[in-house]
Amino acid sequence: MGLIGLLIESFGSLVQHARRIAPMAAGIVWGVASVFVLVAIGRGFESTQRASLQALGDSFVLLRVNRATTQKGDPQSNAFVQIEGEDIELARAGTPSVHTLSPKAHNWFLQVARGGELSRATAVGVDPEYRDIVNVPLLPGSRWFDARDIEQELPVCVIGTRVQEDLFPNGDWQGAEIQLVFSRRADEDTVVRRLTVVGALGEEPLSGDDIYTSQRRVVFLPFPTWERMSSRGFQFLVMRPHTPELKDQALAEIRQALSYRHDLDPDNENTLLPYFDALERGQRIDRVFGGIEIFLGAVGALIMLLGAVGVANVVLMSVTARTAEFGLRRALGCKRRWIFAQVFLEAALICLISGLLGFLLGMGGTALMAQIELPEGFATPESELGAAVLPGLLLLVVSVGAALWPALRASRLPVAAALHGSGT
């Protein structure tokens, strides 16, 4: 008997027992479709989280210098420390584990004006290296700060998207002049600084609105320019280590470098507080979605296992009903391996056809969900090849498991007992 003959007989047997097979096959169809859709939803959430992280930058840490103490009730135990540009230079010189370091000096929520247009923004002083640490998308025609801006303390700036919308509704920001009102204490005069716009940020919808990381309502200045215009120090800096594994070592080196000038405890981790840790967030995404995939695999395996048990039971019943047929074949010289192959093929075809229908149903469900406007916080499912790997592996295991035992039993039937219609 050739392969084509085996296929014809196997399909004929499936058609003959279709009524008994259908409920069990439906379990496999539903299991494969469910796992496919759930994996696609998980992949959609994961890709959204990763895209949101990459919109900011996935390898930096935003830090605040803090005067941490271990004394209970000390009012200075969590007071921040005002640092200066000299501290950044010391930190750069004494931190071999740090790849790039930049100050991030803030003057929060200042008034920005241009003609009769007004806006609110945070003035942020940074070094040119800031763009090597954090993602700063610039519009065409923009430029970022360079060494000349730093050396000459030029009054130039790069503005965020909300500032553009408020001050330049027509998009004519290139080379324009804006006024930045530096708020001072009540006993000091208000100072208005004029800045030339040399760049504008592009919109990053996934970057979030957290005030410490959002770049929508900002006016970036070269750090020496900010330092000259602002009479106060700053508390924040951004850092990127050479590798993620060196992050803790890099933080320890920065604490050590800053402790010399500010009498800080270099061994107290709270003296350098991470306000945003992109490295830790990336690792958390890996852990969370890795766990979700394992959970989905376990659920899918359970659903498909139940379907496989049903398929194996139906095929065993078919083998029992055809005991005399198999005995006659054996008596006429049919080898055991052909009987094994036929029964194995029947069970495998049930699983594979059911699995294919499940994949089609899952893809249809995923495509339908992609067309529906989902509530805020729900990501669009991604029905990519990776979403089919898990249910595909489960289907392969189920197919082999459901087919192996009935096929072995049929091939091992004693000829004499089979001819008498007994399976024992």
pLDDT tens for each residue of 319-343: 666 666 666 666 666 777 777 777 7
The percentage of the chain sitting over the pLDDT mark of 70, rounded to a whole number, equals: 73
The whole-number average pLDDT for the span 417-424 is 54
Residue percentage of the chain with pLDDT more than 90: 28
CB 144 within 8 A of CB 158: yes
- For range 374-398, the mean pLDDT: 67
- Per-residue model confidence (pLDDT) at position 158: 96
Q: Which residues of 12-42 are buried (b: 16+ CB within 10 A; e: fewer)?
A: ebbeebeeebeebbebbbbbbbbbbbbbbbb
pLDDT confidence band for 76 (50 / 70 / 90): very low
Q: How far is CA 348 from CA 53, 62, 341, 374, in A?
A: 44, 56, 10, 38
Short-list 178, 53, 65, CA closest to 113: 178
- The model's confidence at residue 222, banded by pLDDT at 50, 70 and 90, is very high
Q: Please give the helix or strand (H or E) that residue 108 lies within, else none.
A: strand 98-114
Q: Which residue has the tokens 């965020």?
A: 160
Q: What is the pLDDT of residue 319?
A: 66
pLDDT tens digits, one per residue of 110-155: 999 998 889 999 999 999 999 999 999 999 999 999 999 999 999 9
| Secondary structure of 124-139 in HEC code, one letter for each residue | EEECCCHHHHCCCCEC
The domain locations on the chain are 3-54+283-419, 82-239
Q: Of 266, 271, 268, which Cα lies nearest the Cα of 253?
A: 266
Of the candidates 37, 33, 25, the residue with the CA atom closest to the CA atom of residue 308: 25
**Does residue 101 or residue 312 have the better pLDDT?**
101
pLDDT of residue 70: 46
Which has more confidence, 158 or 3?
158
Tens digit of pLDDT for each residue in 345-375?
777 777 778 888 888 888 888 888 878 776 6
